[in-house]
Copies of this chain bind each other. A is one copy, B any other.
Amino acid sequence: MPKNALYAQSGGVTAVINATAAGVIETARAHPDGIGKVYAGRNGIIGALTEDLIDTSAEPAASIAALRHTPSGAFGSCRYKLKGLDESRREYERLIEVFKAHDIGYFFYNGGGDSADTAHKVSQIGERLGYPVVCVGVPKTVDNDLPITDTCPGFGSVAKYVAVSIREAIYDVASMALTSTKVFIMEVMGRHAGWIAAAGGLAAEKPGAAPQIILFPEVAFDEARFLARVKESVERDGFCAIVVSEGCRNADGQFLSETGARDAFGHAQLGGVAPVLAGLVKDKLGYKYHWAVADYLQRAARHIASKTDVEQAYALGRAAVEIAIAGRNGVIPVIVRKQDWPYVWEIGEAPLGDVANVEKKVPREFITEDGFGITDDCRRYLLPLIQGEDYPPFENGLPRYVRLANAPVARKLPAFELKK
């Protein structure tokens, strides 16, 4: 009898992480000699630790197929980081107990840099703690900040959402600017890396066209230069469209979102760099402004997902299973770019340890010298990632997403108390 597998989703969910789940489960089902059942951790690694497992074999094929077009994490995800093998030894031992109790020989951990780090440690428990498990990472993060892989599933769809949305807003603002809003600010995700903000640059219809300003976490915010550029854009184009990363910081490294208004109790305003910039524009330039904060809408926007992203997400899930069946422990499948345009990519592999704990920021050569835009190199890198539409099915005017039954697996072990 082949061993069972455990699949867990980790960290912030995306529009396509379920496509990866579909890739894992459908590929495992196609190889009954290689892998037994695929269990999923309910709420990710927390379910693995608390023995709260979901039996995906109870789901009909149509439901698993529908994961491909369903955003969010179908089994639940969590923010919960395992520390080192020594520091968190009891948790790793518990994982082994759960693996043993349910005859689990394969572990797929679907997440970002932190998860790759955890997966890397789990891949060592055979050697360190005596229970052999084939542990394979599966990349996912809208932040696009993993090294080695050409891109991370989830990012391409956010990039497409941001580029489409700011293009639409630019049309809107341009047509009203004479008597109404002159400055429009769209805040996007990216606390440490500006990949998502960079994607806003794809909306420009020709060199120099709107959005006239992109603010990256990688470039220290300079108020005077920012205001000068806003003024120049309004005077030249009639309006100024700005895409700002939530991680935009001043020269002291302080998040702009934390420099803004304070409430009656003196608490910093609750998030939002867009309203801080709007305040600056109003106070210093007097232009009428509007601002939007896309927040979760951007990473959940399956309705405008990138087809390329969906395909990569699925392919990485499939590859993870093939790697596991081949018995290659401690690796992670990655996207390898073979050609920019038309985009040609294939699946490669990297050691989990090489992907863990390395944050890939937007390189300086992808940002224009003035710090406010993206270069042709950046465009060449980004544009392939948003190619193609992959609309979900609609019913009565709304996308029909799947909710799995998520049947629990009977527990066999005593309860386990999670560390707070």
Contacts and interface: CB of A to CB of B under 8 A. Distances in A.
A171 B401 CA distance: 9
Given A272-B275, A297-B186, A397-B160, A172 B71 contact: yes
Nearest to A260: B263
Contact of A272 (B181, B272, B398): B272
Contacts of A179: 43, 46, 78-80
Q: How many copies does the complex hold?
A: 2
Interface string A363-383: 000000000000000000001
Assign chain A's interface to a size class.
Answer: 35 or more
A322 interface: no
Q: Which of A46, A262, A282, A300 has the most CB of B within 10 A?
A: A300
A292 B297 contact: yes
A293 B291 contact: yes
B279 A270 contact: yes
A210 interface: no
B387 A72 contact: no
Contact of A300 (B171, B205, B283, B295): B171
Interface stretch (A26-34, A161-169, A332-340, A347-355): A161-169
A167 B399 contact: yes
Given A77-B175, A79-B176, A163-B397, 19 more contacts: A13-B175, A43-B178, A46-B178, A46-B179, A71-B171, A72-B172, A72-B174, A76-B178, A78-B178, A172-B296, A265-B283, A269-B275, A270-B275, A270-B291, A275-B275, A303-B304, A386-B398, A387-B397, A388-B397
A363 to B, nearest CB: 22
A329 to B, nearest CB: 28
